Amino acid sequence: MINTPEFIIQSVEMAEFVVEDACGDIWSLSGGIIKQFTSQASPYAVIFKWDFGDGTTINTQDRSVTHEYSSTGIYIVKHQACLLDGPCCYTNDIPWCVKSVTIEAADICTWITSKGGWQAIAAYDIMILVSAYLGQTNLGFTVEMRYINGAIAYYLDMLDSGNNFTGCSFT
């Protein structure tokens, strides 16, 4: 018998599979968000197959894995837990557990980093900030007018002014 458990995101409980943050969202040096995924499948499961929804897949014997997302967005994460020499170790005949994971920026600095850094801010990004300021878009943090001014400064290649408005410390 092969266990194909359900899973949860951020402490909303369902049966036997947990997806939880690794110390909350951790921004890496390269600007991605690292999430920790932990399978609570059968203790007899020995191979864990993961599809992180961004083109990255792994097969591992580790019950807990981390994955770095390069940008914010909604990703469909898939998981299979397989018994030793079970059919899912060799085929995709059993169903995958599937859940949606939303990767959001925690603040303006991490949002800018997820866009590729201050040098990569485009007019479209400024429009997204304005939309969030007006309450039409949720970026996962409260957008203040000074953030919009900072994004405009970054767009105009004015690093110091951008940092002063946003409170970020880009170099």
Could you report the per-residue pLDDT of 120-158, keeping only the tens digit for each?
A: 999 999 999 999 899 887 777 889 999 999 999 999 999
Residue 37 confidence (pLDDT)? 79
Residues in the chain with pLDDT values less than 70: 1-34, 84-100, 104-105
Supply 1's token pair. 């018998």
Closest CA to 2 of 45, 58, 47, 40: 45
Residue 5 confidence (pLDDT)? 41
Integer Cα distance of 22 and 2 in angstroms:
28
Closest CA to 132 of 122, 143, 140: 143
Residue 163 confidence (pLDDT)? 97
pTM over 0.85: no
Residue 12 confidence (pLDDT)? 26
Residue 120 confidence (pLDDT)? 95
Supply 84's token pair. 């030793």
